[in-house]
Amino acid sequence: MSTSTTHEAGASTARTVTDVFQPRNVLLAGMLAIGLAAAGHWTGLLWGLLGALCAGLVPAGYIEWERGRGTWGDRHVVDRTKRAPIFLVILGSIGTGSAVMVLGGAPSGILTAMLGLWVMTVVLLAVNTVWKISVDASVASAAVALLAAVHSPWWLFGYLMTAAVCWSRVALGYHTVGQVTAGTALGAATAGAFLFV
């Protein structure tokens, strides 16, 4: 196999990994599982779905809407200086979802996860003003850390998925090793919210 063919195969694999484990997909699966664990029964899936909607699906929809308007070329928004509106939408969406959860009497575990994601987004927004930290790595890491906090430490094996996401972001040239490492560390820190509740 030639070098160019090997490179193309690697890029194709990286593209598949980054698309399959993009934030909206990771948050959809992760928040459903967190909601289920927090409630202890099936109704937690509804709270988890609300969390996934606010933290992942609404922001993803906003990005697609802006893409349709020609604001960005794809969901990756490679230009760091154009990312601030996305973070503001995420903050507003998570804040709104959290308010609905409080009013609806959602389990504390899902509320704590939402708080962790909100704080993580604030930090992402602040860091992004000067450096292109990896959002995909942060979300992949946060989902695993939160699942480990509400379910079982066995979920930490999910960091194999996080490692794959980090590899894909670097392989595609979207981030440096330092940027995905910082994103992973920030995502892991979101589970620290459970230490205070």
DSSP assignment of 87-128, as one string?
HHHHHHHHHHHHHHHHHHT--HHHHHHHHHHHHHHHHHHHHH
Domain that holds residue 12: 3-196
Q: Specify the DSSP class assigned to residue 53.
A: I
CB atoms within 10 A of CB 15: 13
For residue 53, what are the contacts with CB-CB under 8 A and spacing of at least 6?
A: 97
Residue type, position 95, single letter: G
Q: Could you tell me what percent of the chain has a pLDDT over 70?
A: 94
pLDDT at 72 over 90: no
**CA–CA gap between residue 113 and residue 52 (Å, rounded):** 11
Contact 155, 147 (CB under 8 A): yes
pLDDT confidence of residue 7: 61
**CA–CA gap between residue 136 and residue 184 (Å, rounded):** 9
Burial class for 16, CB neighbours closer than 10 Å (0-12, 13-18, 19+): exposed
Per-residue tokens: 154: 């066995």
pLDDT at 138 over 70: yes
For 95-130, how does the pLDDT look when each residue is reduced to its tens digit (9 = 90+)? 999 999 999 999 999 999 999 999 999 999 999 999
Q: pLDDT class for 8, splitting at 50, 70, 90?
A: confident
Nearest Cα residue to 118 out of 154, 146, 144: 146
What's this model's pTM, rounded to 2 decimal places? 0.92
Contact 101, 135 (CB under 8 A): no
pLDDT at 169 over 70: yes
Structurally, how many domains does the chain consist of?
Answer: 1
Residue reference for tokens 């990286």: 14
